[in-house]
């Protein structure tokens, strides 16, 4: 997905001194990511509580209000963000501020709508506590990625390959419904996206130095960086929720 995609090598001669421009760039990425999380949360809650839309996507227990299954449209929505992200790697070779921003908000919206499944499946208290745990872990891991002088390129490349294995295993859980496989996937997912949080943060920092003063490049990097960190956060959250969340 253009030069800003995962897998770029980290330059070895970046100026690692404190830089006001770098701070502003990273703050812009985090702000956009935070707005994405707010939009996703609002969509998840809205879809889960607006019966006409909810019933198009999910089968809900009429007594408990808990998730009982998916409609065909719900299955399509569940896989839509993955298809969009993978498809963008092949179709969006020349990113601009406009199309990278559109991609970001499209993914945020789709994940938000499909995230209604969390509201229907887990208690509000467990969602809130898991979110706080995820936010704390994300903050610590991102800080590590920002401050460490260790080159995380090789580590990140390994984790990116592991994501593909995780996707295949995750799809398998849909068909086999194995509790042990579900547990293994959830634990692996937490570890993989925890590592990617640190890696993506470091890569964003180095991207800033590579781009220099190119304003269009910085705008694209902000959108793509926010998307990567958003996906790291959301995936870590959902896998932790699978491990820690209290069922309704």
> If residue 214 lies in a helix (H) or strand (E), which one and from where to where?
none
Q: Which residues pair with 122 in a beta bridge?
A: 247
Percent of the chain with pLDDT over 90: 69
pLDDT of residue 212: 77
Any domain includes 28: yes
Alpha carbon distance 22, 219 (integer Å)? 13
The set of residues, in sequence order, having a beta carbon less than 8 Å from that of 154 and lying 6+ positions away, is none
DSSP label at 9?
A: P
Alpha carbon distance 96, 206 (integer Å)? 19
- Largest interatomic CA distance in the chain: 62
Asked whether residue 170 carries a pLDDT value surpassing 90, the answer given is no
Q: Is 111 helix (H, G, I), strand (E, B) or coil?
A: helix
pTM of the model: 0.88
pLDDT tier, 6 (very low <50, low <70, confident <90, very high otherwise): low
pLDDT of residue 16: 46
State the CB neighbour count (10 A cutoff) for residue 177: 9
Alpha carbon distance 211, 217 (integer Å)? 6
Cα–Cα distances (Å) from 177 to 169, 174, 181, 224, in that order, read 11, 6, 8, 34
Structure tokens at 10: 């980290």
Asked whether residue 9 carries a pLDDT value surpassing 70, the answer given is no
Asked whether residue 13 carries a pLDDT value surpassing 50, the answer given is no
pLDDT of residue 112: 96
Any domain includes 7: no
User: What does residue 58 show for φ and ψ, rounded to 5 degrees?
Assistant: -130, 155
> If residue 150 lies in a helix (H) or strand (E), which one and from where to where?
none
pLDDT of residue 206: 92
pLDDT of residue 15: 46
- pLDDT digit string, tens, across residues 36-78: 999 999 999 999 999 999 999 999 888 777 788 899 999 999 9
Structure tokens at 225: 């960086």
Structure tokens at 20: 């006001």
Any domain includes 123: yes
60 contacts 96 by C-beta, under 8 angstroms: no
| Dihedral, 216, 218, 155, 137 alpha carbons, nearest 10 | -130
Count how many domains the chain has.
1
Give the domain extent around 219.
Answer: 20-244
- Report the residue count for the chain: 248
- pLDDT digit string, tens, across residues 221-236: 999 999 999 999 999 9
User: What does residue 70 show for φ and ψ, rounded to 5 degrees?
Assistant: -115, 150
Any domain includes 155: yes
Cα–Cα distances (Å) from 187 to 83, 184, 194, 200, 243, in that order, read 23, 5, 11, 20, 8
Asked whether residue 203 carries a pLDDT value surpassing 60, the answer given is yes
pLDDT of residue 12: 43
Any domain includes 10: no
Alpha carbon distance 157, 19 (integer Å)? 27
State the CB neighbour count (10 A cutoff) for residue 225: 28
Any domain includes 116: yes
- Lowest-pLDDT range of 153-162, 188-197, 227-236: 153-162
Asked whether residue 118 carries a pLDDT value surpassing 60, the answer given is yes
pLDDT of residue 47: 95
Any domain includes 63: yes
């Amino acid at each position: 997905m253009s030069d800003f995609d995962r897998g770029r090598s980290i330059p070895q001669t970046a100026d690692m001194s404190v830089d006001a421009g770098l701070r502003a760039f990273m703050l812009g990425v985090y702000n956009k990511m935070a707005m994405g999380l707010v939009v996703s949360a609002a969509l998840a809650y809205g879809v889960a509580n607006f019966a006409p839309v909810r019933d198009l996507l999910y089968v809900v227990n009429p007594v408990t209000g808990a998730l009982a299954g998916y409609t065909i449209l719900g299955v399509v929505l569940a896989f839509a963000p993955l298809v969009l992200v993978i498809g963008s790697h092949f179709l969006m070779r020349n990113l601009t501020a406009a199309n990278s921003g559109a991609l970001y908000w499209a993914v945020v919206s789709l994940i938000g709508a499909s995230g209604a499944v969390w509201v229907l499946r887990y208690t509000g208290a467990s969602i809130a506590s898991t979110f706080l745990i995820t936010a704390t872990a994300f903050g610590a891991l991102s800080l590590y990625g920002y401050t460490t002088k260790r080159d995380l390129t090789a580590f990140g490349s390994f984790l990116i390959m592991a994501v593909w294995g995780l996707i295949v295993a995750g799809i398998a859980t849909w068909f086999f419904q194995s509790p042990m496989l579900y547990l293994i996937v959830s634990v692996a997912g937490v570890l993989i996206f925890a590592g990617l949080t640190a890696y993506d943060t470091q890569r964003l920092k180095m991207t800033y130095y590579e781009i220099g003063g190119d304003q269009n490049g910085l705008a694209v990097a902000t959108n793509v960086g926010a998307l990567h960190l958003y996906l790291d956060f959301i995936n870590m959250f959902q896998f932790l929720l699978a491990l820690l969340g209290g069922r309704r």
